[in-house]
Amino acid sequence: MASLEPPALMLFGGNDAALAYLELKSIGLPEQKTRELSEALCTLLEEEVGIARDRIYIEFSNAERHLWGWNGTTF
């Protein structure tokens, strides 16, 4: 699932250079995979969108099944 929003005025570290803020939420996200996922996502955004990897911020969240709803129930 992806949501791309129009350019927003954002500052990180007092700098308004291009940046990306990502939230990756998953049921059962293995902690040992977050470094690998971070590398892959930063490489993708750097190559495809041109955002420097030191301007890409990722929040990883491991969600409990009962906190995700779909189709009138939860996972």
pLDDT tens column, 7-59 = 778 888 888 888 899 999 999 999 999 999 999 999 999 999 999 999 999 99
Asked whether the whole model's pTM tops 0.95, one would answer no
Taking residue 25's Cβ as centre, other Cβ atoms within 10 Å add up to 13
75 close to 27: Cβ distance less than 8 angstroms = yes
Place of tokens 């939420």: 25
**Where are the chain's structural domains?**
20-74
Q: Is the dihedral of CA 72, 26, 59, 41 positive or negative?
A: negative
Superfamily designation of domain 20-74 = Macrophage Migration Inhibitory Factor (3.30.429.10)
